[in-house]
A and B are shown apart, each in its own frame.
Chain A
Amino acid sequence: MNGMLTILVLLPLAGFLLNGLLGRRLGPAFVNVVGIGLPTLAFLTALWAWRTLEAGGGAPIIETVFTWAVIGEYVFEVSFYLDRLSAVMALIVTGVGALIHLYSIGYMKGDESYARYFAYLNLFLFFMLLLVLGRSLLVLFVGWEGVGLASYLLIGFWFQDVAKARAGRKAFITNRVGDAGFLLGMFLIFTAVGTLEMDLINEAFAGGLIPVGIATAAGILLFIGATGKSAQIPLHVWLPDAMAGPTPVSALIHAATMVTAGVYLIARLSGVYLEAPAASTLIAVIGVLTAFLAATIALVQTDIKKVLAYSTISQLGFMFLALGVGAYGVAVFHLFTHAFFKAALFLGAGSVIHALKGEQDIRRMGGLARRIPWTFATFLIATAAIAGLPPLAGFFSKDEILWFALASGQGGAVWLWALGSLTALLTALYMFRLLWLVFLGTSRMEPETERHVHESPISMTGVLVVLAVFSVVAGWFALPHYLEPLLPLPELQPERAGLHMAQIIFAVMLALLGLLAASWLYREGGKPADLLWQNLQRLHRVLLGRYFVDELYDRGLQRPWRWVSDRVFLRLGDRVLLDGSLHGLAALARRGAEMFGRIQSGSLHWYAWMTLFGIAAVLIWVWRYV
């Protein structure tokens, strides 16, 4: 039907406007109905759109809304494009989105800016759908910037706290760096191809008429944009700080949906990357390094949300590894499963924080399993899923990634696989460490906190249960196969094609090894682990310092830039050049006025004399020149 996609995109926007303009006056009941109802309707619309797509045999549905601009022969249209890839993304965004809106009712209850929270969350959904459904890179970019804005607003939601406001700013500025790359890549593609419609770009690159150099440059530039949004090295520093926002926001924006926009972008433009092996190799290397380094940092974090933040960075690294070796469908598969179990983990963490009245330090938790059983059970399932234990969702997607990292004919390499497998081991280790320190063992809570521990309301645990169920079953859906007409899987290297079974067994062994190691290291509140770290003090310090990347940026970029801003731009440019020239002009005008003011003496005779001189001058001039 016509207008289906437009309705889908506009529903959350309506929610934003209603809640933003009226929510405060009409009270929380109205906010709930609008804030939960419209995303749910959007999800149903997405389901309907998906059914329509499948009824048409998967042929893309294109819906033009209006013509944005006509410049010479180029026409820029706002149009939506639904194929299997964007349908999967739209379902994830609206589905997980609607669940998290529902969860937020319990979590944000009593907050003084309740309506503002739901307005922002709906705004985020609107921009995310624009990003996912846009046919043109231009529309995608509008959504891309819009989700950045929503992310900024929600990280700094409690802006009275300076540190939180600053975290929002950091996220925004770091993303700006990536966006510069995105824009340049977009310009380059436009000059090379002459259109910004992504399906046409893919066709043009697949036609083989575009030089490899341009494909590589455009691919790397767009990837720079993706590193910003998806928190990959070197622009990963904003995501851990983004945990300053409310926990459901961390679950929705900074784990399940927005941060996967970079993965979606590259999968969407796979036609470009197929022509640019160098750019793909770069993506694989950055991806696997990010996955590994973030996993090592997650091992020593003590804030429950920071552990999950680094885990998200690490899992995104896995997705980029898959993209880099040409397995685009597999990356989307991991994106899909990750959305469920990571949302479950974050919301579980939110439930823990809620139960402990804001406590986030895992050193002051422990023994919560029996006190909050529903949270524990769902957290356990999600942990097992992310660690890659069969038959849960994470097992299937991660195994496929490692398999293609090893065997793909488009850049699969042993070292990528080895580092990826090591990361998978670390993933199991840090996730079970978290589980042990939070839920098992004996309580290390403050007595005052411990007395108030309570299970969260049904609106929160219900959502957790749904997400936990999906963490189990999401992997059974063969998404790469479903996407294959769109995103073909790479050829396998013939000599490694027979190793898949061995790889699966190895991966499961690694996950179990991680589980065993965690259960041994983190019994009794982690005493064996503390002993181990005492022998590795230097490494421990580096990990605790997150490889000192923030400090490096501070020394290498921020301080020199601040110096230049202060000395050159402020003191020289602003105060001397700009202020100087303007003050100079003002002084000139004042002195000139004083001088001419003296002529107006008030003496009638003096005026008559001047009239005489004037007439004489005019007469002389007329006589000489006319």
Chain B
Amino acid sequence: MTTDVNLLLAVSGMLFALGLVGVIVRRNLLVMLMFLELMLNGVLLSLAVFTHLLGAEAGAVLMFLVFTVAAAEIAIAVPIILLLVRSGRTLDPTAYSGLKG
């Protein structure tokens, strides 16, 4: 059991790190969005592990809630990117740095 937990946590950390590196390195908005989801999944995996470990079943419910919200986020983020691309003709985020507050 202990090794399982460690392994699962390591996988969670790696997923998160991979996602972060991807967000930093890639220059494509859609790909960055995917890596963002990867980061989120890493975090959720750790949440699932700890929920299991502590026997707090409410955590599982929270997890599904986060999944739902994340899906909704994507549903908003993708149309925004589509609109950006329609006006800017590129997926490179540096082209849109003029949007800063």
Contacts and interface: CB of A to CB of B under 8 A. Distances in A.
B93 A605 contact: yes
Interface centre among A602, A603, A609, A612 (most CB of B within 10 A): A602
Contacts of A609: 24
Contacts of A605: 24, 27, 93-94
B93 A604 contact: yes
A618 to B, nearest CB: 14
Nearest to B98: A602
* Size bracket, chain A contacts: 10 to 19
Contacts of B87: none
Contact of B20 (A600, A602, A604, A612): A612
Interface string A129-154: 00000000000000000000000000
A608 B94 contact: no
B15 interface: no
A603 B97 contact: yes
B24 A608 contact: yes
A537 interface: no
Interface in B71-101: 93-94, 96-101
B38 interface: no
A608 B23 contact: yes
A600 B101 contact: yes
Interface string A584-619: 000000000000000011111100110110000000
A608 B27 CA distance: 12
A602 B99 contact: yes
B23 to A, nearest CB: 5
A601 B97 contact: yes
B24 A612 contact: yes
A462 B97 CA distance: 91
A602 B24 contact: no
Contacts of A601: 97, 100
B9 interface: no
Contacts of B24: 605, 608-609, 612
B99 A608 contact: no
B45 interface: no
A36 B97 CA distance: 80
Nearest to A611: B20
Contacts of B100: 600-602
Contacts of A600: 100-101
A612 B20 CA distance: 8
B11 to A, nearest CB: 18
B32 interface: yes
B10 to A, nearest CB: 15
Contacts of A604: 32, 93-94, 97
Contacts of B94: 603-605
B29 to A, nearest CB: 8
Given A600-B101, A605-B24, 20 more contacts: A600-B100, A601-B97, A601-B100, A602-B97, A602-B99, A602-B100, A603-B93, A603-B94, A603-B97, A604-B32, A604-B93, A604-B97, A605-B27, A605-B94, A608-B23, A608-B24, A609-B24, A611-B20, A612-B20, A612-B24
Q: Which 8 A-B pairs have the closest CB atoms?
A: A602-B97, A602-B100, A604-B93, A608-B24, A608-B23, A603-B97, A600-B100, A603-B94
23 contacts: A600-B100, A600-B101, A601-B100, A602-B96, A602-B97, A602-B98, A602-B99, A602-B100, A603-B93, A603-B97, A604-B32, A604-B93, A604-B94, A604-B97, A605-B24, A605-B27, A605-B93, A608-B20, A608-B24, A609-B24, A611-B20, A612-B20, A612-B24
